[in-house]
Amino acid sequence: MKLWQKDGHNINDSIEKFTVGRDKEFDILLARHDVKGSIAHVTMLGEVGLMSKDDAALAVKGLKDILESIENGDFKIEEDVEDVHSQVEMQLTAAIGEAGKMIHSGRSRNDQVAVDIKLYLRSEILEIKKVVESLFQLLIQQSNAFKDYGLPGYTHLQLAMPSSFGQWFGAYAEALIDDLEMLEAAYRIVNKNPLGSGAGYGSTFPLNRKRTTELLDFEDLNWNAVYAQMTRGKAEKATGTALSYLAATLARLSMDCCIYMNQNFGFISFPDHLTTGSSIMPHKKNPDVFELIRGKCNRIQALPNELTMMMTNLPSGYHREMQLTKEMLFPAIEELKACIDMAVLMLENIKIKKGILDDPQYKLLFTVDSVNELVIKGIPFRDAYKIVGNAVNEGTYKKPNLSINESEAHEGSVFRLCNDEIVASMEKVLSKF
């Protein structure tokens, strides 16, 4: 049975299978949010007189019972039921009788699924914020712990200038701040209530949309009923774009780890139980975790484009392909959280080689410092550059003895990481959620 089905109307089985698609699979993730949306809607219906107070109270109690079954893992969408919205309404009607048939007044599945998705995305964004915060704290912790461990810096994958693992960890910590700025922007777009927009053109019922906004703890509502429906796809794309920013940071971090684990570098290593081996080469310790994080996150980076193409050239109003956004976005959310969890596990157990920059092969990292020493002595920069360059070409260059105090170093340099300032910046972003 379907909410829209009339007596004597039976849909072709192949059409039903094609149009329903994977809805049931992803609707389970929306179940608790669907019930919460219905509780708010029914509460409002009782307050404006579209349901009696007794019927509204009975329906709310029945919905809370269903919510409890969802939280306990006992809820399921039956084989002959189209989606979560149908399942909840039919289950409620079976439990409380006629009052269950009243809960759809002033509502369409269009605004019902829109509010479900926004509630789901809001919840998941906050969960992602939490795991990103854990990764950030670990990166800052490791940055402070390994601030004196030298690391070659590279541009074009060629030796560039001396860096440190403190600077490396801190760089990715600060990257997460910008990523969370994008996530918070998505949160603000998602945190608006579309409920009460009906099929996209409002209702002649005297609905109180401000009340459901308050009950569902939305920051605001989508005022225009047409635009409330047009946020389908936009809310998903905003979230997908934020995910892609985080994914880009993780993918880059993972690539660094793959390179640094390589025996020709040998900067970092991990315990045997966190790496994999080869079926033929006994010496292998493969960075499979980082390779998979890189691959999964690169796929997530394609998500905004995938969502864009799905919504391109659609006119106003609801269109059925909008349901496909769930197939794109929901698995990506789970993948990203898993990638962050694995990155935390690996970086908690990282082993870093000491004294890397003592190796003579890295002496050319210090040519800029040699130039700077000459400039401080009064030699013009361009002349100092030529002097050091000629020494490199002639094979006579010798690495300088650096003695720089943190008080003399500029902000963010290898000698002055400014991690306290980075933490303060992150706290400012987190406070916006």
In degrees, to the nearest 5, what angle opens at C-alpha 169 toward C-alphas 166 and 173? 125
pLDDT tens digits, 92-131: 999 999 999 999 999 999 999 999 999 999 999 999 999 9
Q: Are 42 and 60 in contact (CB under 8 A)?
A: yes
Which domains are assigned to the chain?
Answer: 13-105 (1.10.275.10), 110-146+164-354 (1.20.200.10)
Count the Cβ atoms, other than its own, within 10 Å of residue 351. Answer: 9
Which helix (H) or strand (E) covers residue 55, if one does? helix 53-71
Q: Are 101 and 142 in contact (CB under 8 A)?
A: no
Q: Tell which residue, 219, 242, 235, 301, has the closest CA to residue 429.
A: 242
> What is the distance between the alpha carbons of residues 314 and 325, in angstroms, rounded to a whole number?
14
Mean pLDDT of 29-43: 97
Q: With residue 159 as reference, give the H or E element that holds it.
A: strand 158-164
Position 265 scores a pLDDT of 95
**Could you give the CA distance from residue 282 to residue 272 in angstroms, rounded to a whole number?**
13
- pLDDT mean across residues, the chain: 93
pLDDT confidence band for 372 (50 / 70 / 90): very high
For residue 405, is pLDDT > 80?
no
Residue 26: which pLDDT band, with cuts at 50, 70 and 90?
confident
Look at residue 4 in the predicted model and tell me its pLDDT.
46
Provide the pLDDT for residue 8: 58
Pairing of strands 351-352, 220-221: unpaired
pLDDT at 10: 66
Closest CA to 364 of 177, 190, 49, 152: 152
Does residue 62 contact residue 43 with C-beta atoms inside 8 Å? Answer: no
Question: pTM to 2 decimals?
Answer: 0.92
Cα–Cα distance for residue pair 428/433, rounded to 1 Å: 10
Whole-number Å distance between alpha carbons of 78 and 80: 6
Element (H, E) at 193: strand 192-193
CA gap 323, 88 in Å, rounded: 19
Spatial separation of the C-alpha atoms in residues 425 and 107, rounded to whole Å: 43
Residue 155 phi, psi (nearest 5): -130, 140
Which of the residue ranges 138-147, 206-215, 279-288, 362-371 would you say has the lowest mean pLDDT?
A: 279-288
Distance CA 179, CA 190 (A): 17
Span 225-269, pLDDT tens digits: 999 999 999 999 999 999 999 999 999 999 999 999 999 999 999
From CA 293, how far away is CA 135, in angstroms rounded?
14
The b/e string for 266-283 (b: 16+ C-beta within 10 A; e otherwise) is ebbbbeeebbeeeeeeee
165: Cβ–Cβ under 8 A, 6 or more apart, which residues? Answer: 142, 143, 146, 147, 149, 150, 151, 352
Query: Tell me: the pLDDT tens digits for 163-222?
Result: 999 999 999 999 999 999 999 999 999 999 999 999 999 999 999 999 999 999 999 999
pLDDT at 82: 84
Q: Give the pLDDT score at 420.
A: 96
Q: What is the CB neighbour count within 10 angstroms for residue 411? A: 8
Query: What is residue 7's predicted lDDT score, i.e. its pLDDT?
Result: 56
Q: What's the confidence (pLDDT) of residue 407?
A: 72
Q: How far apart are CA 219 and CA 188, in angstroms?
A: 8
Give the residue-averaged pLDDT of 344-371: 96
Chain centre distance of CA 50: 40
Q: Read off the pLDDT of residues 37-93 as tens digits, 9 standing for 90 and up.
A: 999 999 999 999 999 999 999 999 999 999 999 999 999 999 888 889 999 999 999
Across 70-79, 272-281, 284-293, 422-431, least confident range: 272-281
Assign 401 a pLDDT band (cuts: 50, 70, 90): confident
C-alpha to C-alpha distance for 15 and 83, rounded to whole angstroms:
15
Structure tokens at 134: 């854990």
What are the structure tokens assigned to 351, written together?
């082993």
The answer on pLDDT for 1 being more than 70 is no
What is the rounded distance in angstroms from the CA atom of residue 182 to the CA atom of residue 303? 15
